[in-house]
Amino acid sequence: MNWDAIGAIAEIAGAMAVLLTLIFIAKQISIHSRELERANQFHNAQSTMSNNALYVQIWQPIMQDADLAEIYLKALKNEPLSRVDSLRFEIYANTFLALTEAAFYQTASDVGFDDVSTQDITVIEILGPYLHKLLTNDVGEKWFLEEAPALFTGDFLQAVQQQIQRT
């Protein structure tokens, strides 16, 4: 066998090795892509579960505490509240807005809430009726104007204010 034949065989073997390597890499990329998609699906499910748990935490105190439910209803009707009752309502409003702000920024960063938020409707718009109830009564409005600016970001507060005006 001459050197030209050995060189040709080596080139063929090298080409086959490159081809096998490319097939292996393509298979690894496919496996990696499937695993990445599964991880994304898992993350979305975890995000939804976490958000639902937060939502339940917001309403659970009112469901379980008749006094807080009474305070909530009185505040929404602009009935007079004691200082303690006003504080409890303000804390409730703060908790509700904290959840709303988290959802607002999750949506803005394209993380979670894909099913309920699109270009046309935002989480703020979905929660708008609740925000309107909480923040357009005497206690809620006073808290929103005096306390909320120290607790929440300007962009979020502006979005809430705009939504309240539209609702």
Is there a domain that residue 17 lies in?
Answer: no
Using a pLDDT cut of 70, give the percent of the chain over it: 93
| pLDDT at position 3 | 85
Counting Cα atoms < 13 Å in the Cβ hemisphere of 80 gives 1
| pLDDT at position 83 | 95
| pLDDT at position 48 | 77
| pLDDT at position 122 | 79
Domain range for residue 74? 49-166
pLDDT lower than 50: segments of the chain = 117
Is there a domain that residue 37 lies in?
Answer: no
Is there a domain that residue 60 lies in?
Answer: yes
Query: How many angstroms separate the Cα of 105 from the Cα of each of 34, 87, 108?
Result: 28, 27, 5
What is the pTM assigned to this prediction?
0.68
| pLDDT at position 114 | 52
Total structural domains within the chain: 1
Is there a domain that residue 36 lies in?
Answer: no
Is there a domain that residue 9 lies in?
Answer: no
Condensed to tens digits (0 to 9), the pLDDT of residues 113-149 reads: 555 545 556 788 888 899 999 999 999 999 999 999 9
DSSP conformation class of 153: -
Positive or negative CA dihedral for 108, 110, 112, 113? positive
Instruction: Show the beta-strand stretches assigned E in 42-150.
Output: none
